[in-house]
Amino acid sequence: MMMRRAIKCLKRFPWQKRIFFQMLLTGVLILSFGSNPAKVSAAYPEKTIILLIGFKAGGATDLLGRLVAKGLEKELGVSVMVMNKGGAGGALAYDALHRAKPDGYTLGWVTGSLFTTTNIGNLNWGYEALDPVARIAKWPLVVGVRADAPWTSWNDFLMDAKRNPNTYKFGHAGTGSIGHLMNVALSSNLNVIFVPIGVDRRFSALLGGQIDLLSAPAAGFVKFSQAGKMRALVVSSNQRVPLLPTTPTAREIGIDFQVDLMYGVFAPPKTPKEIKHTLQTALKNVTVNYKPLQKFIEAKRMDLGYLDGPELNRWLSDQNTTVVRIMKDVGLFKSQLTKQ
């Protein structure tokens, strides 16, 4: 309406004055478009980006996130500063990301704990509240035993555990963790003792006999299996681990559990599409070209599984559905969202 009135008004002036007012009107329009954040995103990024990591410095999650940050620096030409904000299984960092300004200058290094923290009630929003940018890598979980254990397959353990209920101790990183949920899914018809052994001493606890079985990332079991100290029984992913080729997946033994430990970059809600596209292009290049990242992924026996867009959204939904189902089965589901 204002535009039509301005143009109508211009017609009343001689052509010299009309040109002046046309130039003035054009300037006003440029300024009004310039104030729109979605239009400003074409210049992104122009300053330091903060990458929130919800876990302590020095662990595998932190080290991988820092490598991605370094790779992003090279691709984007600005500094990417890592900020560790540990606590509550990553929930403190996720909540800070959720409250951050959606301008692309605060990002989050997100793991599979996003599904557990939101569904166990540590956060009052669901995983969908964050804006996924890209999955960088995934890490299959493995359930295994000591090499001198009497079980050479999951079926061997299953038969033994049924004959000896409440005898065997099944270790995991912590209550509500992805590893704990894997233990629950595998042991749904068994009476076993679940032991939250923590991350730092889980493999030593298994080797030392404090627990009889353990769920943990594949890398540890590959290392100890090759050393002749452990035996892998089941893999959580939908495909076998190349370095554990004889170890079946959960689906192969009839268990409906396909969840991997995820590592990816997320943004605050309502981040403009242009900013996400810039980040996705840069992150994809990082996975392809940044050699230190590739070497770390290979050393840790992770899968460099870049994913974004609708495919990533579907994958996230599938992972969350599995987590919710198992949490509900064992009474751990305490999401503050009523829709679930």
Q: What is the pLDDT of residues 293-332, one digit of tens each?
A: 999 999 888 889 999 999 999 999 999 999 999 999 888 8
- Residue finishing a domain among 206, 235, 253: 253
Residues 236 and 292 occupy one common structural domain:
no
Flag whether 221 is in a domain: yes
pLDDT of residue 33: 35
Residues 132 and 267 occupy one common structural domain:
yes
Residues 149 and 248 occupy one common structural domain:
yes
Q: What is the pLDDT of residues 98-148, one digit of tens each?
A: 999 999 999 999 999 999 999 999 999 999 999 999 999 998 999 999 999
Residues 248 and 147 occupy one common structural domain:
yes
Give the number of domains in the chain: 2
**Is the predicted pLDDT of residue 337 greater than 90, yes or no?**
no
- Residue finishing a domain among 195, 229, 253: 253
Residues 125 and 271 occupy one common structural domain:
yes
Domain of residue 246, residue span: 141-253
Residues 174 and 313 occupy one common structural domain:
no
Q: What is the pLDDT of residues 24-70, one digit of tens each?
A: 333 333 333 333 444 444 689 999 999 999 999 998 899 999 999 99
pLDDT of residue 311: 97
pLDDT of residue 200: 86
Residues 246 and 266 occupy one common structural domain:
no
Domain of residue 232, CATH code: 3.40.190.10
Flag whether 67 is in a domain: yes
pLDDT of residue 42: 62
Residues 278 and 318 occupy one common structural domain:
yes
The structure's pTM equals: 0.83
Residues 230 and 204 occupy one common structural domain:
yes
Flag whether 27 is in a domain: no
Q: What is the pLDDT of residues 68-110, one digit of tens each?
A: 999 999 999 999 999 999 988 899 999 999 999 999 999 999 9
How does residue 17 score in pLDDT terms, banded at 50, 70 and 90?
very low
Residues 87 and 118 occupy one common structural domain:
yes
Flag whether 38 is in a domain: no
Flag whether 288 is in a domain: yes
- Residue finishing a domain among 233, 253, 273: 253
SS in 3 state form for the chain? CHHHHHHHHHCCCCHHHHHHHHHHHHHHHHHHHHCCHHHHHHHCCCCCEEEEECCCCCCHHHHHHHHHHHHHHHHHCCCEEEEECCCHHHHHHHHHHHHCCCCCCEEEEEECHHHHHHHCCCCCCCHHHCEEEEEEEEECEEEEEECCCCCCCHHHHHHHHHHCCCCCEEEECCCCCHHHHHHHHHCCCCCCEEEECCCCCHHHHHHHCCCCEEEEEHHHHHHHHHCCCEEEEEECCCCCCCCCCCCCECHHHCCCCCCCEEEEEEECCCCCHHHHHHHHHHHHHHHHHCHHHHHHHHHCCCECCCECHHHHHHHHHHHHHHHHHHHHHHCCCCCCCCCC
Domain of residue 56, CATH code: 3.40.190.150
Residues 278 and 182 occupy one common structural domain:
no
State the average pLDDT for the chain: 88
